[in-house]
Amino acid sequence: MATKNDIQELSPKALWKNFHKICQTPHPSHHLEAISKMIMDFAQQLNLEAVQDEVGNILIRKPATKGMENRKTTILQAHLDMVPQKDSSVNHNFETDAIQTIIDGDWVKADRTTLGADNGIGVAAAMAVLESKEIQHGTLEVLLTADEETNMVGAFGLKPEFLEGDILLNLDSESEGELYVGCAGGIDANISWKFIGEPSFADDIALKVTLKNLKGGHSGLEIDLGRANANKLLFRFLKEAIISYEARLAQVEGGNMRNAIPREASAIISIPTNERSNIEKLISEYEALFNEEYKAIENTIILTVEEVEMPETIIPEEVQDDLVNAITACPNGVFRFIPEIPEIVETSNNLSIVTSTADTIEVKCLLRSSVDSKKEELASMVESVFTLAGAKVEFSGSYSGWNPNLKSAILKEMSELYLEKFGVAAKVQVIHAGLECGVIGATYPNLDMISFGPTICHPHSPDEKVNIPSVQKFWDFLVATLENIPTK
């Protein structure tokens, strides 16, 4: 049974105490005022130099401990923001409410919301190092970036003269015992239609169709698990309702974060009154179909329908049909695995968000790839699908992947140290997610970089949880690494 015990009593206490403080401070992407103030106040209380740049990145410097002045300057890097996702059954405002943590056996999770262990554990670890008087280390820089979860705003905004370090330890990976030396690049697809709404039919009724209870998850780390995409499933149903029962689409709302696999989607449709029983039957059939298709992967998928007030306007039929066909045809999920490492995704797309207003439809996708040419190929496919459907297609936020350096000095040092400390070899990995190392490395090409962290399951979803024993190992390894940083 889960119990709401105090995470501040967990070990290592210095880390968990700071993670508790982070959970008490709202910090969803684009709402970092409170956590930025908390961090700046924290640095001031420690009498450490701290600056914040124009995009919101915070840099804190700590001098080397006695006898360690000859070590290379090390940057501890994590991001300040968290992905705000919650179950529909909980009333939670990420901009004002604290995260309610729960200890469940060997795991810490939240009460039906994302936990923010991604990347709060990394931030908490850096804070614990800064306030420690026992850890031996060379000169330290702690870089806490802004809005990583939404287009890596902070990493892209870094100025070349901001950092002075030689080695960067990114504390944002999610499998303890793995050292990441490369990651995928990405690009955002922004798709839109403008239209003039048509008057709704006075003799029709309006129904709200809602698809929910999917697992969702991280669109990089969990894109290969075959989980359902709420937008894709909803539009499968809508296409059948339009073709068979004269349904007309009035509104749609699916997904809310570009880097989270959409868990819920809903639409308001207009139908002839005499078709209501047919729509209700279709709802039951598709709910059963979806659950049969995803019975080994998903939670119980819920598809419901309820009568609502008729909107004043509906989407023009031509635009509606173009939208439905384009969403149906849009590539989603894994596009290609790395040929040389077939268990790792090379290229993927997440059909993240579909929303409408009275005169606009917007679709957002996040495309990832560790190969720029394959990213461009997939982007061209997405562009072609939606351009043929009459939409405006724009791409933004493109960044290249982080190319592995298997001759890295810090990789060699940390690999040997892990084996010596834990008796097993750390796995050297490339990740299909957008670590900030790739973006930071473009501005600071001489940095020796590596990424590691504790075990975090299901980030970017309300099922997110962090493994308690792995946090202790991550902390012990971080401390040992700092104490063994190479000399200049």
pLDDT in tens, the chain (488 residues): 344 579 999 999 999 999 999 999 999 999 999 999 999 999 999 999 999 999 999 999 999 999 999 999 999 999 999 999 999 889 999 999 999 999 999 999 999 999 999 999 999 999 999 999 999 999 999 999 999 998 899 999 999 999 999 999 999 999 999 999 999 999 999 999 999 999 999 999 999 999 999 999 999 999 999 999 999 999 999 999 999 999 999 999 999 999 999 999 999 999 999 999 999 999 999 999 999 999 999 989 999 999 999 999 999 999 999 999 999 999 999 999 988 888 889 999 999 999 999 999 999 999 999 899 999 999 999 999 999 999 999 999 898 888 888 889 999 999 999 999 999 999 999 889 888 998 999 899 999 999 999 999 999 999 999 999 999 999 999 999 999 999 99
DSSP code string of 127-144: HHHHH-SS---SSEEEEE
Judged by DSSP in three states, 65 sits in coil
Q: Quick one: which of 461, 466, 486, 455 has its CA closest to 84? A: 461
Report helix angle 117-131 to 13-23, nearest 10: 130
At the topology level, CATH places domain 187-399 in Alpha-Beta Plaits (3.30.70)
Q: Which CATH number fits domain 7-184+401-483: 3.40.630.10, 3.30.70.1280, 3.40.50.720, 3.40.50.150?
A: 3.40.630.10
* pLDDT tens column, 349-366: 999 999 999 999 999 999
Which pLDDT belongs to residue 2? Answer: 41
SS (H, E, C) 409-425: HHHHHHHHHHHHHHCCC
CATH 3.40.630.10 maps onto the chain at: 7-184+401-483
C-alpha to C-alpha distance for 313 and 156, rounded to whole angstroms: 41
Which pLDDT belongs to residue 151? Answer: 83
pTM above 0.95, yes or no: no
SS (H, E, C) 386-398: HHHCCCEEEEEEE
Token pair listed for 281: 């039957």
Please give the distance of CA 82 from its chain centroid, rounded to a whole number. Answer: 8
- The residue whose two tokens read 């007030």 is 309
Which pLDDT belongs to residue 246? Answer: 96
* pLDDT tens column, 214-261: 999 999 999 999 999 999 999 999 999 999 999 999 999 999 999 999
Which pLDDT belongs to residue 1? Answer: 36
Q: Cis peptide leading into 469, omega within 30 of 0?
A: no
Token pair listed for 114: 């994302």
User: Which position among 81, 166, 188, 464 bears the catalytic label?
Assistant: 81
- The residue whose two tokens read 């554990």 is 121
Q: Is 148 a catalytic residue?
A: yes
C-alpha to C-alpha distance for 35 and 46, rounded to whole angstroms: 17
Q: 50-70 b/e with 16+ CB inside 10 Å = b?
A: bebeeebbbbbbbebbeebee
Token pair listed for 364: 């957002």
User: Which position among 118, 148, 275, 463 bears the catalytic label?
Assistant: 148
CATH 3.30.70.360 maps onto the chain at: 187-399
Q: Quick one: which of 149, 179, 144, 184 has its CA closest to 163? A: 144
DSSP letter at 318 equals H
Average pLDDT over the chain reads 96
